[in-house]
Amino acid sequence: MRRAVLIAIPYVWLLALFLVPFFIVLKISLSDIALAIPPYTPTLDLSQGWAGIKEFVSQLDFENFVWLTEDDLYWKAYLSSVKIALIATSLTLLVGYPIAYGMARAPEEWRPTLMMLVILPFWTSFLIRVYAWMGILSNEGYLNQFLLWTGIISTPLTILNTQTAVYIGIVYTYLPFMILPIYAALDRLDGSLIEAAEDLGCSRMQAFWLVTIPLSRPGIIAGCFLVMIPVIGEFVIPSLLGGSGTLMIGKVLWEEFFSNRDWPVASAVAVILLLILVIPIVLFQRNQQKQAEAEQ
């Protein structure tokens, strides 16, 4: 009995917070747009009995999904999102790995402080931090003022409302998700392995490539997925920092819901987005599982 309850809790959780909302969205994606509240038809009327359900099902169709393939906006947005996510993830890795490495190599007494510094930004609202970047990156922003003052540039750089700003925003926001798993992997790394590699003829650099990198790979993979999965659907950063030139599926989704009020098409976009994300999520889970097995 107790066991049944314990097993049931995560399933009830999954059902209530994922599967039920997902099926509602899936149902809306199969409906038609309507000027009504809610803004789609059909709606299920159980008072009609079995005939009502048959009537309801017969009105569902896939035309919203067909529409997604006909207008090139959508697949371009998907593609652009995946591209931006891949590039941003690589950039985050390039910035995050040295930080994680430095943290793992820092004296023991410094590590909690460094860890705190990485986590600290989470204590402020995400929106406020993105707005702060607008203040830094705009033409009259702090960055341009500083560069003009030092004389490196003579005219302000246009960074805000470009993809560069989006990358800066994503790297900044998602950096902790990259640093923490890599740091965890590097922290566990036995220092004598590096010494053994050097003892067997490796230079410092070779030891890094042949020992440190392979042994931190689970952390690298975990960090990359933790960054890439949410970035594909990212909406706030591209809409605040990216301007109209940045095409990302999260933004398209938002506009379909709130500007066009076309809930069925928006739902179809969301369903496809979820299907795209399932692949990396499954890969991520497998990586975590493999790591857990290796540690046993």
Q: Residue from 21, 135, 214, 245 that binds other proteins (CB under 8 A)? A: 214
* Residue number with CB closer to other proteins (54 or 188): 188
Stretch that binds other proteins, among 62-70, 97-105, 195-203, 267-275 (CB under 8 A): 195-203
* Residue number with CB closer to other proteins (28 or 194): 194
Binding flags for other proteins, 86-105, as an x/- string (CB under 8 A): --------------------
Amino acid (one-letter) located at 48? Q
Smallest gap from residue 213 Cβ to other proteins (A): 10
Q: Residue from 145, 206, 260, 285 that binds other proteins (CB under 8 A)? A: 206
Distance CA 22, CA 25 (A): 5
For the chain, the distance separating the N- and C-terminal CA atoms, rounded to the nearest angstrom, is 30
CA dihedral 128, 21, 88, 123 (to 10 degrees): 30
Q: Residue from 200, 279, 281, 292 that binds other proteins (CB under 8 A)? A: 200
Looking at residue 15, what DSSP letter applies? Answer: I
CA dihedral over 89, 253, 272, 163, signed as positive or negative? negative
Q: Does 196 bind other proteins (CB under 8 A)?
A: yes
- Cα 127 to its chain centre, rounded Å, is 16
* Residue number with CB closer to other proteins (33 or 202): 202
In contact, 210 and 134? CB cutoff 8 Å: no
* Residue number with CB closer to other proteins (82 or 215): 215
Smallest gap from residue 188 Cβ to other proteins (A): 10
Q: Does 47 bind other proteins (CB under 8 A)?
A: no
Radius of gyration (Cα) for the chain, nearest Å? 24
Distance CA 204, CA 209 (A): 9
Distance CA 261, CA 6 (A): 41
Q: Does 198 bind other proteins (CB under 8 A)?
A: yes
Q: Which residues bind other proteins (CB under 8 A)?
A: 190, 192-193, 195-203, 206, 210-211, 214-215, 294
